[in-house]
Structure 1
Amino acid sequence: MSEFVPPSNPNVEPEEAGFDLWGFLCRRAWLGFFFGTIGATAAYYYYLRQPVVFKATSQILITKQQAEMPVNTVNGLAPNGRSDPLASDIQTIMSELTVRPAISDGRLRELPSLSGASNLTQTILNGLNAERTVEDGQVLDISFKGTDPDDCAKVVNAVVASYDKNLRETYTDQGMVVSNLLKDAKEEWLTTLRKCEDEYAEFRKSSSLIYNGENVTSLSESRMAGIEIERSKVMIAQTEIQSQIDAIQKALERGGSREAITLMLESFNDKKKSGDGLETSLTPTQKFTREIFQLELEEALALQDHGEDHPKVRSIRKRIEMTRKYLSNELSDQIAPPAKKMDFLQVYIESLHQQKKAGEERLLQLNSLFEEEQRIAKEQLDLQIKDKRYRNDIARSELTFNAIVSQFKDADLAVKAGYHRTQVLAPATRGYQVEPNFQKCIIVGSVAGIAVGLLLGLLVEAADKSFRSPDDISQTLRLPIVGISPQIQLGRRDRTNPIDPAIVTIHRPRSQSAEAFRGVRTYLMAATRGEGHRIVLLTSPEPGDGKSTMSSNLAVTLAQTGKSVLLIDADMRRPTVKRLFSLKNKMGLSNLLGDVSLDVNECIESVTFEGSTLDILSSGECPIDPGERLMSDRMESLLNMLRDRYEWIIIDSPPVLAVTDSATLSRLVDGVILVVRMNGRTRMGAVRAAETLRTLGANILGLIANGIDPTKHGGYGYQYGVYGAGGRASKYYAEAPNKR
């Protein structure tokens, strides 16, 4: 089987296409215009139904020069650090404190637009507004919205006058208010301070604490410290006694010399008494005995750390043996020992146990005494805490009282140093209309309508499963476009020419449709690099896509180049080629596959046009088993035999999704071209068809977009001699490589 070498890999997945905004607007702009018109109409109707609202505005300048006040004043008129200096003024203007006097003083109930209000104060507050003219400025804009322009001006002027009056009265009484507040606070804190001092004096009289000026101490704490020192001494003495007992018992257990131990204890006791003078009073025998004892102690420590066979242990034992040997020689030269004395070692050990027992009893007494003092100390600690609380309360009371006294002295100066007044810069005049705003209503209604229309267009766009452009088909199926065929306009049938008018390459060779088929021919010839003997299968996802017309016109354009071309109609269920070319031969492909003895030349019929010849093998009689015949070995043998006779073989096969015939034939041909109609075709069918062919391993050369509407896709394709808009068709034809 020959192999196509296409100019580009048709199975390479193209780049993901984004949302086609321009195409969407072109297709669905009418929805935006339609709903925009409805929105504008509804907005105009709303404008006519809304009541007319007027607005009057007045500008006032608020001047403040105020010293720091000792306490906050009423109505939020006192300064507040870095807070908004006009915040309290705005709040006061838009409150009942200002509006109620304005109603009575300005006789606002008599105004025609307000006479019917059940709650006039709330009605005015709803339409009243106060805001700065300039950020961080001292000028306020006071405005009111109502249904009568003259009444709006009267309301604003009445509110401004009421606020100015209220401000003067409030600031005049401010000094008296502050003075009275400070005077009451002074008396209250003085009473509180004296009460705290009296309670503290009574507490000191009844307390067991010791006062030394500002310092407060507890006897129990000092006694506990002395007991703790005494306990430490007793515990240290107990530890020393126990260590002596343990040392003597361990020496006796190891078999040490009782004389050496006794000498050691005597030396220890003498050392306690005489200190360093002991060394000069010892005899040589006593010194050797002490040395043996020290070596035995060292041996015991070495056994604990190293074990019996350690070199250090053996060295110490050797030194003990030599020292004893030397001591024995010394003692043998001396006079016989004196008479037997009392066992000092046993007496000494007994005395140590007595001392230890006495120490334990002493420690129990000290512990009991310490617990008693600790209990008393806890009680006195509560008294100390209460004493500290009394003194803190007195200190805070004194601090507050002194601050109030100082503020009381400065109150008059603070009031005299400041002032707070208003000045009307622009009184309110006749109001002007602010609602409804015709321009705003129309714009908002139109924009809302257009938005609804475009949203509806998006929903329609999402529900539309048809292909919108050749680009859309190529990107969805991941296949290159090898041809774009517009809608074929059928003219009158020429009675002198039996060929169907749908074969535009014969009837109208200079038409745009004919040029599209020549473009497909160019692609195929470029793909084969000038070589012949190629078999190409044309199929479609479903019936009605125009594959038979495409196959016939493509075969004609190939024959017009002088090549030997055979057109095979493999659609045995709905044959079309025979009708298009008005063939008379009743024998065809089904007869060849069913009768092996039949000669192929008997089934092929030739059609001649403009000096060119096209051989056609029609489908023949409709068999009951077309699928089985196409799958037979006879079909493969027939194609191999015909390959040697023709340079090009074009096969018109049934739709991929309708039957399995195309899937069977796709394995026997050199390449497959998928024909997809633009209008009325769902995406899912085309995608399934392409995936089916890929699964079977078919060599898909590309696709032909059929049924292009020139009025919607005028930029695609061209006519012979006159190129279409932009010449965009060249973008969809694969570039032919250089011939060998």
Structure 2
Amino acid sequence: MKASRELVKSDSDLTSIERSSDSSSTPHSYNYGVDPNAETEVNLLDYWRAVRKRLWLVISIMALITMLSIIYVARKPDIYQAGARVQVDLENNAALVGKTPYVFGPANDPVYFNTQLQILVSPGLMRRVVKTLDLEHNPNFFKGSSAQKRSTWQTIKQMAGFGKAEPPTVADKLPDDLPLGATVPAATSHDDRAEAKRLQPYVGAILGGLKVDPVKETRGLYKETRLIDISYTHTDPEVAAKVVNAIAETYVFNNLERKTETNTNTGTVLQKRIAELQQTIRTDEERLVNYAKNNRILTLDASQNTVVERLGSLNKQLGEAEGARIEAEARFNEAKRPGAATALTEADQLKANESETKLADLRQKRAQLMVDATEEAPEVKEIDTQIAELDRQVKEVRSRKSNTLLMNLETNYRQSFAREQALRKLFEQQRGETGSQNEAAINYRIIQQEIQTNKTLLDNLLQRSKENDVIMASKPNNISIIDYAMAPEGPIGPNRTRTVFMALFLSLGLGVGFALFLEYLDDTVHSTDEVERLLHLPALAVIPSAAASGRRRLLAAPGGLQKRNGYHSDNAELLMNVDGRSPLAEAYRHLRTSVLLSTAGRAPRSLLITSSLPGEGKTTTAVNTAVSLGQTGASVVIIDADMRRPRLRSIFGLSDRAGLSSILSSDMSEADMLALVSKDEVSGLSVLTSGPIPPNPAELLGSDQMRRLMAALQANFNHVVVDSPPVTSFTDGVLIASIVDGVLLVVHGGKSSRHVVKRARQLLNDVGAKIFGVVLNNVNLQSHDYYYYQRYYGSQYYKSDVEEETERASA
């Protein structure tokens, strides 16, 4: 058990680790290749972890809401439903509209059917039902049956299947002598607002439980029927049945009452209209006879009227004259175009054609002479004289004939226009004479048509009056009750089991949603996945908390921390020295390996360990990292650069004397600098404390003396570990980050804010610092996010010697 189980042997040769020069082979280098878009990826495992982390919250919400729903449904009374069915045929209005009755089909008048559905749920009909059943004096209508007064516990037992449903008993039933087939008394106060206001609560209660649905057939071709189902739900089965039957009976009676009243009114209107038409017909016949005598109308036959015949003849002549005028006008306008009259003249004048023939011969002859002679030759001049004379004669003939033709066409046009105007004047005169003569005949025909129309209408009204008398004598009703309602034997609701399961699932969704909402509000860093996704940096190590690593057991065990190390404190910073197999030691050895492999070619000589805010464990990480590096046999010096809150002197039990501030505030030589470095015999580390706290730490840490100090220490030690203040609070750490080989950023698991950590990373990147990665510190391994690490560090293989001794002592 005491054999060495160190990860790296303490051999000085191990201080120089061979690496490949290829940076791509170092997965934990500061240039960490994380996809920037990975932050937006949706990972279902993250949701599951968020819910699992708050599993008891989800279970509590589910238990609370489910229990409340059980109590709620257990206190609700049973609901009973009774139903009746009525048939609605198409209304026969033959006496009103003069049509033959027809059978109501599936596509016949849907407006009428929908109107009946609305009448069934009208407040007026419900008020008549309330008065018919005397619901105002029935306490059982609102109170419910006595069967619903059983305890909540009995209902819960029945839901679980350990109790039997009790048969409904009614204390105050409605009167059993309700006439289901008799006539319901007519309502006498439809317009009484006071009564309507008084009955409004009862009407609302009925409408709240009433359901009216048309019955649809699913087996035949036509899905629609003439049936309507009326159902009503109530806590008392007897009340439900009585109310449904009362609604059906009242509805049927109201329809019959309305039809009877309508037929009576129709008969009155028909009789009045018939008397008016008879009087009108007699008056119009007398007026027709007197009109014929006064206007000497003997016949209305148009074939025997000469005035009309002459008007037709004039109309025909006027049409012919108008056509002749249009033709003459067209020819005259065509002749007025340039060249048109000349073309017409040439066609009729043979003399002009002969002259042109001679003129062509002379021109041909002149052309022959011009072959051997000139234009000054006598024979050529003679021919030119003849050509000019013939051309003048041709033009004179053409002009004279053209003028003559235009004059003839104009004369013809004017004659045609004058004849048309004369015939139009005669036509208008004859038409006026014809209109005067026929006006009396037209009025005579109008009076005749009015008399004939009134006689036809009178015959129709007499026929309708007879049909209405037959309808009134038979008292038909197109609405009838098919099935009456019976008191239901068992309740239809509430479905308590379904309600409870719905509440269970809804509460599950609410609990999960609330857990995810809390996870959304949680701005802290919890896992290595979040570190790599949010910061785009590798998570070099996960350091468990002291409680999770069994620190209490180490301190209480024989030969514990005080006895082994000789310290008079139980500082957690030096738990690395307690046992090399403890979870903390394994975590820091893992961090050491990641640091040594973080750069290509050689191990980093100088290392800055800082955090974003105070209290994240940077000093603890710096001390234990330095100890783990020293365990490899390398010489390690740790510098307390946190001159605002120094802690190394208390950890290592060093006196408060000169330190870092003394070196930076003076011009010491390298030997004087190294003389201030103290050696801790227990841990094997060299320690340079902060020294007296200066008023200006940032100016000292950014000075050239600090660079000289770092160069001197790197020349005399294998590794230089610097503990600096938080980078977001002070600029000290940012100044040091630019002169070291790399930076470790310590993040407190479950406490450090994501935005603050990202800001710290940005500050380090702005000065060109090489961030090796992130150390997730003080992690609770009992959390679901670190289940793997819990198994790794808590396995039997990695138990420390002290733990095994403690277990044997307790056994």
TM range (shorter): 0.5 to 0.7
Change in Cα spacing, 1:554 to 1:194, as seen in structure 2 (3 Å) is: farther
Three-state SS of the structure 2 residue aligned to 1:715 is helix
Equivalent pair of 1:585/1:603 in contact (CA under 8 Å): no
What is the match of residue 674 of structure 2?
601
Alpha-carbon shift at residue 662 of structure 1 (Å)? 1.9
1:132, 1:429 → 2: CA distance? 20
Alpha-carbon shift at residue 452 of structure 1 (Å)? 6.7
1:522, 1:341 → 2: CA distance? 130
What is the match of residue 562 of structure 2?
494
Equivalent pair of 1:534/1:647 in contact (CA under 8 Å): yes
1:342, 1:476 → 2: CA distance? 110
Alpha-carbon shift at residue 569 of structure 1 (Å)? 2.4
Alpha-carbon shift at residue 563 of structure 1 (Å)? 2.3
1:429, 1:355 → 2: CA distance? 113
Amino acid at match of 2:525: F
Superposition pairs for residues 310-709 of structure 1, below 5 Å? 329=383, 347-348=400-401, 351=404, 354=407, 427-429=485-487, 460-489=518-547, 492=555, 494=562, 496-497=566-567, 500-528=571-599, 531-532=602-603, 534-584=605-655, 586-598=657-669, 599=671, 600-609=673-682, 613-709=684-780
Three-state SS of the structure 2 residue aligned to 1:237 is helix
1:576, 1:370 → 2: CA distance? 135
Deviation track 1:326-379 (CA, whole Å, cap 9, x = no partner) reads: 99649979xx99xx9996566556546755765786698699889999999x99
Alpha-carbon shift at residue 110 of structure 1 (Å)? 6.8
Amino acid at match of 1:475: R
Amino acid at match of 1:243: R
Three-state SS of the structure 1 residue aligned to 2:786 is coil
Change in Cα spacing, 1:620 to 1:359, as seen in structure 2 (3 Å) is: farther
Change in Cα spacing, 1:720 to 1:121, as seen in structure 2 (3 Å) is: closer
Three-state SS of the structure 1 residue aligned to 2:597 is helix
Superposition pairs for residues 186-265 of structure 1, below 5 Å? 226=320, 229-244=323-338
1:705, 1:519 → 2: CA distance? 12
Equivalent pair of 2:74/2:496 in contact (CA under 8 Å): no
What is the match of residue 10 of structure 1?
32
1:341, 1:614 → 2: CA distance? 142
Alpha-carbon shift at residue 67 of structure 1 (Å)? 11
Amino acid at match of 2:244: V
TM-score, normalised to structure 1's length? 0.65
Identity %: 23
Change in Cα spacing, 1:45 to 1:265, as seen in structure 2 (3 Å) is: closer
Equivalent pair of 2:22/2:600 in contact (CA under 8 Å): no
Equivalent pair of 2:607/2:740 in contact (CA under 8 Å): yes
Change in Cα spacing, 1:715 to 1:465, as seen in structure 2 (3 Å) is: closer
Alpha-carbon shift at residue 510 of structure 1 (Å)? 2.2
Three-state SS of the structure 2 residue aligned to 1:710 is coil
1:544, 1:373 → 2: CA distance? 125
Amino acid at match of 2:687: I
Three-state SS of the structure 1 residue aligned to 2:486 is coil
Deviation track 1:578-619 (CA, whole Å, cap 9, x = no partner) reads: 32222358343333444444314312223344xx73333333
2:273, 2:679 → 1: CA distance? 126
Equivalent pair of 1:285/1:327 in contact (CA under 8 Å): no
Alpha-carbon shift at residue 690 of structure 1 (Å)? 0.7
Change in Cα spacing, 1:237 to 1:132, as seen in structure 2 (3 Å) is: closer
Change in Cα spacing, 1:153 to 1:330, as seen in structure 2 (3 Å) is: closer
2:721, 2:71 → 1: CA distance? 67
TM-score, normalised to structure 2's length? 0.61
Three-state SS of the structure 1 residue aligned to 2:685 is strand
Deviation track 1:62-114 (CA, whole Å, cap 9, x = no partner) reads: 5979999899899x996255266975765565458976876787777775546
Change in Cα spacing, 1:125 to 1:488, as seen in structure 2 (3 Å) is: closer
2:383, 2:251 → 1: CA distance? 127
1:58 paired residue among 83, 86, 100: 83
1:24, 1:193 → 2: CA distance? 96
| Bigger shift: residues 162-171 or 224-233 | 162-171
1:133, 1:717 → 2: CA distance? 64
Change in Cα spacing, 1:658 to 1:146, as seen in structure 2 (3 Å) is: closer
What is the match of residue 104 of structure 2?
79
Three-state SS of the structure 1 residue aligned to 2:337 is helix
Deviation track 1:183-204 (CA, whole Å, cap 9, x = no partner) reads: 99999999999999x99xx9xx
Amino acid at match of 2:80: K
Amino acid at match of 1:479: L
Asked if residue 269 in structure 1 is aligned to residue 348 in structure 2, the reply is yes
Change in Cα spacing, 1:671 to 1:68, as seen in structure 2 (3 Å) is: farther
Alpha-carbon shift at residue 520 of structure 1 (Å)? 0.8
Change in Cα spacing, 1:221 to 1:433, as seen in structure 2 (3 Å) is: farther
Amino acid at match of 1:21: Y
Deviation track 1:638-668 (CA, whole Å, cap 9, x = no partner) reads: 4344334433322222211122222222222
1:665, 1:193 → 2: CA distance? 123
Alpha-carbon shift at residue 507 of structure 1 (Å)? 1.8
Equivalent pair of 1:666/1:698 in contact (CA under 8 Å): yes
1:190, 1:460 → 2: CA distance? 91
2:603, 2:501 → 1: CA distance? 67
CA RMSD of aligned residues (A): 6.4
Amino acid at match of 2:240: C
Alpha-carbon shift at residue 225 of structure 1 (Å)? 5.5
Equivalent pair of 2:58/2:508 in contact (CA under 8 Å): yes
Amino acid at match of 2:536: R
Equivalent pair of 2:211/2:231 in contact (CA under 8 Å): yes
1:428, 1:720 → 2: CA distance? 69
Equivalent pair of 2:609/2:743 in contact (CA under 8 Å): yes
Amino acid at match of 1:55: Y
Change in Cα spacing, 1:581 to 1:100, as seen in structure 2 (3 Å) is: closer
1:194, 1:665 → 2: CA distance? 126
Amino acid at match of 1:10: Y
Structure 2 unpaired stretches of 5+: 1-20, 142-173, 175-193, 218-224, 365-369, 556-560, 799-811
Alpha-carbon shift at residue 621 of structure 1 (Å)? 3.5
| Bigger shift: residues 641-650 or 167-176 | 167-176
Change in Cα spacing, 1:349 to 1:60, as seen in structure 2 (3 Å) is: closer
Aligned residues, how many? 645
Change in Cα spacing, 1:63 to 1:570, as seen in structure 2 (3 Å) is: closer
